């Protein structure tokens, strides 16, 4: 049989034919497509005509297209539906792909042709998008070592290959550690405080393993509610310690040495390329531009939030002591007592709202929001292959009926899936080619007697990832490398985070909040409690998020190889945000996949940076109406459709008419008095 990965998929919308792709097809496909890609590059280099935009820059954009599709497909599976075979293939393929990439960016003859076109830019006429592609292509060569010579060039190859391998290993280790722990309970006494839905899910998991009792895991839909509701302090501590020591157990899945190697290699790579630190290297391609600006931004937010965060924690501690806690408030106590204080203060907790957020109804409301704002229509289809039975597939159509995108949604946790939630693509949009977009989540599973009932946080997560999906689905550009979410990292969260704002809007909540048993619309009094409690513990939440950004910047502001102790280093970096007693034996960085197995190294601050943008942008909807078509159309045309075709600040000002202000964020977070 012909390997289906070697040619355009002959399926509806050219979607991956998952049901006919065997695991043994991947390795030979990668090898063949890498050779094909090399052929495309050689033909550009050997073209005897004078280099120009079409035969050099556009030809590079098109080179290795099928390899890109297969890479996206394979590595998406490695995150969402992996196994030991796929992980083994990934370990073999990753260095091959890194070498292939280096062969392109370090190709002197190819760079000479690109530079020839770039040097003639001033005397040529280009569209805005063409000029951006030319600039980005030239910069990419420089940033990926094209100016390096001799030993430096060889060293760059070695470093990038090793970083690729280490990043992959970090993720595998973290998944193994997450899957490797289970809290197996066998008595009712151990279940004190736990809601029925969580008990049912834990019982079903135990039964699936042919065990009595209940099994709780470190996957979010199990871990988070356990920490919020378990009245057994000893068991909360056990769960917390298991979660907070992932990658820090001095076993075969330990991540400390990987971190030390990665940050040291990133320093070495940055210096090879002429940068002071890895942060300087990364931020050259971010809105913030340099580490000093990031650190000033983080400090500004810390100054505005630390005292409020400290008061938040004190309020929980006082409440805890009034309700029987005899010892200092520890990290494993905080979620439990914070949730109880929230219930007392607002008459609200996750279990009170959960019956109103049935997944299917929330899905309908999220899709309906896209329909109200942008005219989109979502039609579920069984005609498109999927990689797991639980995945749902939709065809997305524009208001004029034209086809826009294929959209995959994968809602529930399983051992083969990494934790967290993310948006990705199987194919990005370009020219007339429409995208194939996916969101992958770890939401609360349905049980034998209940459908999937989401926490309010899961509702917000759905909106967040769907915002990323809209950025991919509505992209309308000529070149794939500039489409959708291919934008600066500190801008990419704007389309996702702005969507979260609708979760606290009364009109939208009335549409999605319907009791799964009675059909009762969520009561006005409960909606008001959701709105009133939106800023509950916001100071603490802000400080916590800033601590992640600060440790990220600390790791990537190193100027020399790191030989110290990982835990000591991170504790020093996060000390200014500390609101709890130190917990010996724990580590944060060993589970920080965003920066060691994701694209957020020296960029995690971007979540807070984009909050400034999204709060400022949503003010336009608040001023004009949360479903205002004109505002939505402007956001679509100037932000969602444009991808990375212009500088993010240009796009933002085209939408808003001015640069963003930090005040809407401080006001929304309750930090501006």
| 441 band by pLDDT with thresholds 50, 70 and 90 | very high
The mean pLDDT of 56-71, rounded to a whole number, is 97
**Per-residue confidence (pLDDT) for residue 2, from 0 to 100:** 87
Residue 638: pLDDT above 80?
yes
pLDDT band at 182 (very low <50, low <70, confident <90, very high): very high
Share of the chain above pLDDT 70, in %: 100
CA distance 40 to 45: 9
- Flag whether the pTM goes above 0.75: yes
Q: How confident is the model at residue 529 (pLDDT cuts 50, 70, 90)?
A: very high
DSSP state string for 278-344: HHHHHHTTSTT-SHHHHHHHHHHHHHHHHHHHHHHHHHHHHHHHHTT--S---TTTHHHHHHHHHHH
Q: Give the rounded distance of the alpha carbon of 499 from its chain centre.
A: 15
Span 573-601, average pLDDT = 96
**What integer pLDDT is reported at residue 350 of this predicted model?**
87
Q: At what angle do helices 648-656 and 606-624 cross, to 10 degrees?
A: 20
Query: How confident is the model at residue 673, as a pLDDT?
Result: 62
> What's the pLDDT score for residue 142?
97
- Integer Cα distance of 522 and 76 in angstroms: 37
For 259-274, what is each residue's pLDDT tens digit? 999 999 999 999 999 9
Burial of 401 (0-12, 13-18, 19+ CB in 10 A): exposed
What was the pLDDT predicted at 425? 98
pLDDT at 418 (0 to 100): 93
* Mean pLDDT to the nearest integer, 440-461: 95
Closest by alpha carbon to 334, among 490, 473, 541?
541
The pLDDT confidence band at residue 201, using thresholds 50, 70 and 90, is very high
Phi–psi pair at 215, nearest 5 degrees: -120, 125
Cα–Cα distance between 650 and 68 in angstroms, integer? 29
Task: Categorise residue 436: left if φ over 0, alpha if ψ from -120 to 50, beta otherwise.
Answer: beta
- At residue 558, what are phi and psi to the nearest 5 degrees? -60, 140
Domain residue limits, the chain: 4-105+107-143, 181-243
Q: Looking at the domain covering 4-105+107-143, what would its CATH class be?
A: mainly alpha
The H or E element spanning position 425 is strand 422-427
Looking at per-residue confidence, does 572 or 532 come out higher? 572
The catalytic residue positions are 465
Note the helical H segments in 120-149.
128-143
Q: 409: helix, coil or strand?
A: strand
Look up tokens 């010996």; give the residue: 584
pLDDT mean across residues, the chain: 96
What is d(CA 49, CA 537) in angstroms, rounded to the nearest whole number?
Answer: 64
Single out the residue of 622, 643, 602, 617 nearest to residue 263, CA to CA. 602
Read off the tokens for 24. Answer: 């043994």
Q: Three-state SS across 365-407?
A: HHHHHHHHHHCCEEEECCCCCCCCCCCEEEEEECCCCCEEEEE
Whether the pLDDT of residue 385 is over 70: the answer is yes
């Amino acid at each position: 049989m012909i390997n289906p990965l070697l040619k355009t998929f002959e399926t509806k919308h050219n979607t991956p034919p998952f049901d006919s792709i065997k695991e043994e097809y991947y390795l030979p496909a990668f090898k063949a497509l890498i050779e094909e890609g090399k052929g495309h590059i050689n033909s550009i280099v050997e073209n005897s005509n004078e280099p120009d935009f079409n035969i050099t820059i556009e030809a590079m954009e098109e080179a290795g297209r099928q390899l890109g599709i297969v890479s996206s497909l394979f590595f998406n599976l490695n995150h969402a539906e992996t196994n030991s075979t796929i992980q083994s293939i990934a370990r073999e393929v990753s260095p091959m792909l890194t070498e292939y990439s280096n062969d392109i960016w370090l190709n002197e003859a190819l760079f000479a042709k690109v530079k020839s076109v770039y040097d003639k830019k001033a005397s040529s006429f280009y569209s805005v998008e063409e000029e951006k592609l030319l600039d980005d292509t030239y910069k990419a060569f420089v940033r990926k070592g094209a100016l390096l010579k001799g030993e430096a060039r060889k060293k760059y190859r070695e470093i990038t290959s090793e970083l690729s391998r280490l990043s992959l290993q970090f993720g595998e280790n973290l998944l193994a550690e997450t899957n490797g722990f289970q809290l197996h309970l066998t008595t009712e006494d151990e279940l004190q405080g736990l809601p029925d839905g969580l008990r049912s899910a834990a019982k079903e998991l135990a039964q699936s393993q042919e065990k009595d009792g209940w099994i709780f895991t470190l996957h979010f839909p199990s871990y988070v509610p356990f920490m919020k509701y378990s009245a057994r302090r000893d068991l909360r501590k056990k769960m917390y310690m298991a979660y907070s020591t992932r990658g820090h157990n001095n076993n075969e899945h330990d991540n400390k040495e990987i971190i030390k190697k990665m940050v040291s290699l990133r320093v070495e790579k940055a210096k090879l390329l002429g940068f002071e630190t890895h942060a300087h290297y990364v931020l050259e391609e971010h809105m913030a531009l340099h580490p000093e600006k990031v650190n000033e931004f983080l400090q500004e937010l810390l100054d505005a939030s630390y005292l409020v965060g400290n008061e938040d924690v004190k309020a929980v501690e006082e409440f805890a002591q009034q309700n029987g806690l005899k010892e200092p408030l520890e990290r494993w106590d905080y979620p439990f007592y914070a949730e109880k204080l929230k219930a007392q203060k607002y008459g609200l907790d996750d279990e009170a709202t959960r019956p109103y957020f049935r997944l299917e109804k929330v899905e309908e409301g999220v899709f309906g929001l896209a329909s109200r704002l942008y005219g989109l229509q979502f039609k579920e289809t069984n005609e498109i292959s999927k990689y797991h039975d639980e995945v749902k597939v939709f065809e997305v159509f524009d208001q004029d009926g034209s086809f826009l995108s294929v959209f995959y949604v994968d809602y529930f946790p399983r051992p083969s899936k990494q934790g967290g939630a993310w948006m990705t693509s199987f194919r990005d949009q370009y020219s007339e080619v429409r995208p194939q977009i996916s969101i992958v989540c770890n939401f609360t599973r349905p049980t034998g007697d209940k459908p999937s009932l989401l926490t309010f946080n899961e509702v917000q997560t759905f909106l967040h990832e769907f915002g990323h999906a809209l950025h991919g689905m509505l992209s309308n550009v000529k070149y794939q490398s500039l489409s959708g979410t291919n934008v600066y990292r500190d801008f990419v969260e704007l389309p996702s985070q702005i969507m979260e704002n609708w979760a606290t809007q009364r009109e939208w909540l009335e549409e999605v909040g319907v009791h799964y048993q009675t059909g009762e619309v969520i009561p006005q009094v409960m909606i008001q409690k959701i709105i009133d409690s939106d800023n509950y513990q916001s100071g603490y939440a802000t400080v916590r998020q800033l601590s992640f950004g600060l440790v990220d910047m600390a790791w990537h502001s190193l100027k020399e190889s790191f030989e110290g102790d990982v835990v000591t280093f991170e504790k020093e970096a996060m000390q200014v945000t500390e609101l709890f007693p130190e917990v010996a034996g724990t580590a944060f960085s060993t589970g920080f996949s965003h920066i060691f197995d994701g694209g957020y190294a020296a960029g995690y601050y971007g979540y807070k940076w984009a909050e400034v943008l999204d709060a400022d942008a949503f003010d336009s909807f608040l001023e004009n109406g949360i479903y205002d078509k004109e505002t939505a159309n402007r956001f679509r045309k100037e932000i969602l459709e444009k991808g990375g075709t212009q500088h993010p600040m240009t796009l933002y000002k085209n939408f808003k008419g001015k640069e963003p202000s930090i005040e809407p964020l401080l006001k929304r977070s309750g930090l501006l008095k």
